[in-house]
Amino acid sequence: MDGSRSRATEPVVGILGYLVPDAVSAPGGAEGEEQALFALNYFQKALAFGMLPVAVPALDPFRAPAYLELVDGLIFTGGADIDPELYGQPPHPQLGPTIRKRDEFELQLARSAIARRLPILGICRGMQLLNVAMGGSLEQHLAPGDRWLRHGTGSPDPEFHQIEVVDEELRALLGHRPTVNSLHHQAVLELSPGLRVAARSPDGVIEAVVGVDEPLLAVQWHPEQLHLGHPAGDGPYRWLRSRMAAGR
């Protein structure tokens, strides 16, 4: 044995997780201990599309770039609201819980991955995180009854609505007006100049973006929760798999 490691045959995708602060007790965990949690549906969907998923916990932001030596791509997942201080806004009264440690780690990881042109898929909070990482800002609360559709229920059960796909490549994967699941109360406000709109909902909320120069796709819905064979569930993972394979 010479100590060398063989390269996985499948592209390796790093999947970000949820960070549970030590002040919050999590199921099965010791009280008072900070925990990293990972929803398996993100991993199962990656496996179904020929990727080998590995977990990336939120640790020291200065060590974040080292993870990029181990993976061919990244998936930024859903979760808590992003601290609005990070995009220059005061907190909205309806702002949800924020976890600054996760924000700072993921922002550092995202910026390093973008600089390396590593393929990236952002999902829900992941889309918002990528927009902030690239200089954009967020609508902190989509209040139903203003001018917004009901994008989130405040429960684990999603809303469903159609979107209009305007990006040609994404339209080939999803169709023109796919139905998506919706579990969010925030959205992109000012779009980063490094991103362009790929899909919108009928009320104008940006539902998908792609990188102007980078291999990046981010969607506001949750493809990992949709069944295999659903265009809006399969399409983002197909896109990521093709980009990762091309970059190996």
Residues with a known catalytic role: 124, 222, 224
Three-state SS for the chain is CCCCCCCCCCCEEEEECEEECCCCCCCCCCCCCCEEECCHHHHHHHHHCCCEEEEECCCCHHHHHHHHHCCCEEEECCCCECCHHHHCCCCCCCCCCECHHHHHHHHHHHHHHHHCCCCEEEECHHHHHHHHHCCCCEECCCCECCCECCCCCCCCCCEEEECEECCHHHHHHHCCCCEEEECCCCEECCCCCCEEEEEECCCCCEEEEEECCCCEEEECCCHHHCCCCCHHHHHHHHHHHHHHHHHC
CA distance 125 to 35: 19
92 HSE (CA, 13 A, CB side): 15
The answer to whether the CB of 118 falls within 8 A of the CB of 73 is yes
159 forms bridges with which residues in the sheet? 182
